[in-house]
């Protein structure tokens, strides 16, 4: 028969539709605003009395609670209104002690039977869910300076090992300068350093009896340092965002020296900014001996002890880059501390430095880069000027009792929160260069809800107009096209949910465009059936010819559009990528429903009947 499918093809189409409907269903159950209360220590749990006190405090503050769920040591409090989240968190923070961490959350309300099948709703983007948008600027000059400081430290150690005497070290712009007592020492040092550091151009100068050796980074080396700084910062920021537990965050490079960070669902902007923008790093240095030359020492104050300072050696043993893991804990006296594990290189360097300096003090230097924007007058106009500052302070100074290895601890921290944040920063990796906030934008959950409402309305209006057009134009076949269109929409939503794609406002525009394109394929088929029927073919022959002869046109049109969508995804940024993903998936589902689903329905409704007239 012309218009018959074998049974297996009908069953295959039915299975695809059923699976699509199941995995699209979770999107009918929106997430609930909630606060998550979890223990900061494994041995602490929220007892029934504290839980009752918390519930009473929330209800006394007129906060509508949907439900309270307990899962092990964690408690999830579901709220009726998103606007109550921050107030509920503040109340929980005041009521509970430092043993508990209270965080904002979005709790899924998907039924258990759907979750057991692995079904979950689509992730919503920043413009739909609300959240924060940061534009960060990387200080490229500081990246070069930091690399020069590391190289200068390595050069000094190399010269000391070879017993070559030098007087002073200077770092300026892209150069490192060393001053020697005479030309003989300088030339020997030049040959030695050149073998180890090939990224420099070397030049010499005479200063009376002294001799100066100047090493300048090549242009290629500067570009490599700056590219590394961007890539390392991207990796570090992604690790920090993952520590925050944000669903579908966006961390990507923008231009030569900027990074975009978008955190959907984050409402605590201050906390996000503090973690994402933190530029803290650590340096481990030995305390200077009394006979150490002034040129080889630096004086730093203590972070939490006003008026106290210490002189440290300029050479750095290791930095936070060598930390492989860090966790907060509490010492014997109940004070917070950070337990640190070093990588292989860091452990070797730490062991070498401490093994030969038992009884000497070692300091942990906390380094933080800050930025402040001031408005100044230039030529009678107000101009914003950014001032970048670097604060270095000692957080710990302890005597080396024995040779240290890959694991040790940092003490001297003021609070549990400070220890937790320091551990997070060290665990996620240090920044290769300071970053500063060039732009900050917050989208509230109410605006996100409004965007969702308008987006859904646009899809509904578009779908209604298409349905009416198809019914008026193609009658019975229009009903079949509309049913296929509904299946197409369900399959598209299911595909985005299964793949974990993020829905944004441009993505909703892609859905509306998909509806039009899906109908376009049906229009081509139905118009072809009309034409063949008018040319004298029988009804069954016209239906078969309409689908077969329109197939090539539909595939060609959709493949070219799919190619454009792939290009948009490969070179576009966040919003453009969201549109491209939705459009690509929509093209695939549209071809499936137009060529297979609608054909199956036509076969079932018309294929077994002797037709003399077509209602099309």
- Which residues partner with 281 through β-bridges? 367
Structure tokens at 524: 């081509």
Structural domains of the chain ordered from first start: 7-26+444-606 (1.20.1640.10), 32-107 (3.30.70.260), 140-221 (3.30.1240), 280-412+427-441 (3.30.1360)
Read off the pLDDT of residues 402-420 as tens digits, 9 standing for 90 and up: 888 888 777 766 677 667 7
Helix (H) or strand (E) holding 341: strand 336-342
> Can you list the alpha helix ranges (DSSP code H) found in 535-608?
539-571, 574-592, 598-606
Alpha carbon dihedral 93, 94, 95, 101, in 10-degree steps, equals 20
Determine the average pLDDT of the residues in 159-173: 83
- pLDDT at 319 exceeding the cut of 70: yes
pLDDT band of residue 249 (cuts 50, 70, 90) is confident
Read off the pLDDT of residues 585-604 as tens digits, 9 standing for 90 and up: 888 998 899 889 988 998 88
**Are 229 and 148 within 8 A, CB to CB?**
no
- pLDDT at 35 exceeding the cut of 90: no
Structure tokens at 212: 């100066």
The per-residue pLDDT for 20 is: 92
- pLDDT at 42 exceeding the cut of 50: no
**Are 153 and 162 within 8 A, CB to CB?**
no
The per-residue pLDDT for 23 is: 92
Read off the pLDDT of residues 121-147 as tens digits, 9 standing for 90 and up: 887 777 777 777 888 888 888 888 888
Determine the average pLDDT of the residues in 226-242: 82
The per-residue pLDDT for 574 is: 64
Determine the average pLDDT of the residues in 280-288: 82
The per-residue pLDDT for 1 is: 56
The overall pTM is greater than 0.75: no
Mean pLDDT of the chain: 81
pLDDT band of residue 615 (cuts 50, 70, 90) is low
Task: Determine how many CB atoms are found less than 10 A away from the CB of residue 387.
Answer: 9
Read off the pLDDT of residues 47-105 as tens digits, 9 standing for 90 and up: 778 888 888 888 888 888 888 887 766 788 888 887 787 788 888 877 876 567 676 66
Percent of the chain with pLDDT over 90: 5
| Helix and strand counts by DSSP (H, E) for the chain | 16, 23
Read off the pLDDT of residues 528-556 as tens digits, 9 standing for 90 and up: 888 888 888 888 888 888 888 888 888 88
Determine the average pLDDT of the residues in 245-266: 78
Determine the average pLDDT of the residues in 280-298: 83
The per-residue pLDDT for 541 is: 84
Least confident interval from 239-243, 295-299, 505-509: 239-243
pLDDT band of residue 264 (cuts 50, 70, 90) is confident
The per-residue pLDDT for 58 is: 87
Determine the average pLDDT of the residues in 227-251: 76
Rounded Cα distance, 448 and 266, in Å: 12
Least confident interval from 293-302, 314-323, 381-390: 381-390
pLDDT band of residue 356 (cuts 50, 70, 90) is confident
pLDDT band of residue 368 (cuts 50, 70, 90) is confident
Query: DSSP string covering 32-72, please?
Result: EEEEEEEESSTT----HHHHHHHHHHHHHTT--EEEEEEET
Read off the pLDDT of residues 447-491 as tens digits, 9 standing for 90 and up: 666 777 787 888 888 888 888 988 888 888 888 888 998 899 899
Rounded Cα distance, 578 and 386, in Å: 34
Q: Where are the beta strands (DSSP E) in 235-330?
A: 250-254, 258-264, 281-286, 297-301, 309-313, 318-319, 323-330
How many C-alpha atoms does 442 have within 13 Å on its Cβ side? 10
**Are 491 and 585 within 8 A, CB to CB?**
no
């Amino acid at each position: 028969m012309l218009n018959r499918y074998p049974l297996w093809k009908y069953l295959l189409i039915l299975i695809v539709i059923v699976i699509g409907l199941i995995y699209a269903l979770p999107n009918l159950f929106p997430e609930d605003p909630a606060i998550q209360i979890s223990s900061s220590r494994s041995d602490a749990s929220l007892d029934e009395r504290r839980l009752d006190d918390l519930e009473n405090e929330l209800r006394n503050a007129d906060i509508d609670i949907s439900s309270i769920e307990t899962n092990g040591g964690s408690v999830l409090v579901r709220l009726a209104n998103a606007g109550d989240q921050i107030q509920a968190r503040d109340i929980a923070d005041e009521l509970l002690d430092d043993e508990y961490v209270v965080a904002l959350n979005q709790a899924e309300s998907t039924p258990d039977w759907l979750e057991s099948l692995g079904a979950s709703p689509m992730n919503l983007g920043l413009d739909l869910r609300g959240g924060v948008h940061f534009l960060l600027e990387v200080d490229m000059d500081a990246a070069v300076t930091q690399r020069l400081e590391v190289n200068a430290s390595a050069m000094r150690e190399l010269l000391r090992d070879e017993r070559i005497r030098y007087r002073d070290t200077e770092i300026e712009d892209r150069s490192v300068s060393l001053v020697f007592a005479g030309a003989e020492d300088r030339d020997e040092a030049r040959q030695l350093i050149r073998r180890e550091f090939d990224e420099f151009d070397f030049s010499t100068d005479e200063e009376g009896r002294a001799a100066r050796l100047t090493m300048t980074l090549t242009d290629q080396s500067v570009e490599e340092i700056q590219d590394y700084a961007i890539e390392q910062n991207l990796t570090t920021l992604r690790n920090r965002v993952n520590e925050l537990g944000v669903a579908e965050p966006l961390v990507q490079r923008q231009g030569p020296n900027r990074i975009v960070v978008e955190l959907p669902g984050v409402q605590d902007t201050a906390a996000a900014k503090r973690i994402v923008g933190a530029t803290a790093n650590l340096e481990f240095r030995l305390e200077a001996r009394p006979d150490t030359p002034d040129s080889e020492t630096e004086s730093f104050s203590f972070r939490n002890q006003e008026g106290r300072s210490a002189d440290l050696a300029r050479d750095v043993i290791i930095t936070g880059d060598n930390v492989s893991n860090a966790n907060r804990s509490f010492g014997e006296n109940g004070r917070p501390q950070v337990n640190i594990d070093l990588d292989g290189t860091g452990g070797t360097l730490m062991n070498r430095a401490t093994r030969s300096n038992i009884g000497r003090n070692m300091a942990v230097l906390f380094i933080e880069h800050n930025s402040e924007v001031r408005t100044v007058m230039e030529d009678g106009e107000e101009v914003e000027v950014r001032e970048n500052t670097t604060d270095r302070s000692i957080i710990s100074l302890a005597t080396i009792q024995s040779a240290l290895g890959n694991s040790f601890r940092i003490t001297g921290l003021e609070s549990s929160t400070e220890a937790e944040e320091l551990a997070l920063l060290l665990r996620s990796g240090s920044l290769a260069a300071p970053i500063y906030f060039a732009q900050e934008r917050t989208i509230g959950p109410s605006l996100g809800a409004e965007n969702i409402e308008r987006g859904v309305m646009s899809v509904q209006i578009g779908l209604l107009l298409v349905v009416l057009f198809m019914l008026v134009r193609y009658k019975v076949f229009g009903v079949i096209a509309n049913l296929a269109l509904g299946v197409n929409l369900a399959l598209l939503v299911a595909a985005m949910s299964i793949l974990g794609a993020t829905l944004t406002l441009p993505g909703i525009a892609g859905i509306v465009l998909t509806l039009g394109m899906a109908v376009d394929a049906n229009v081509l088929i139905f118009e072809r059936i009309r034409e063949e029927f008018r040319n004298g073919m029988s009804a069954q022959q016209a239906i078969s010819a309409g689908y077969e002869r329109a197939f090539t046109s539909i595939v060609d049109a959709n493949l070219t559009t799919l190619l454009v969508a792939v290009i948009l995804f490969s070179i576009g940024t966040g919003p453009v990528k969201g549109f491209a993903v939705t459009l690509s998936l929509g093209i695939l589902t549209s071809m499936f429903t137009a060529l297979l689903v609608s054909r199956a329905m036509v076969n079932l409704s018309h294929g077994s009947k002797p037709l003399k007239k077509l209602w099309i």
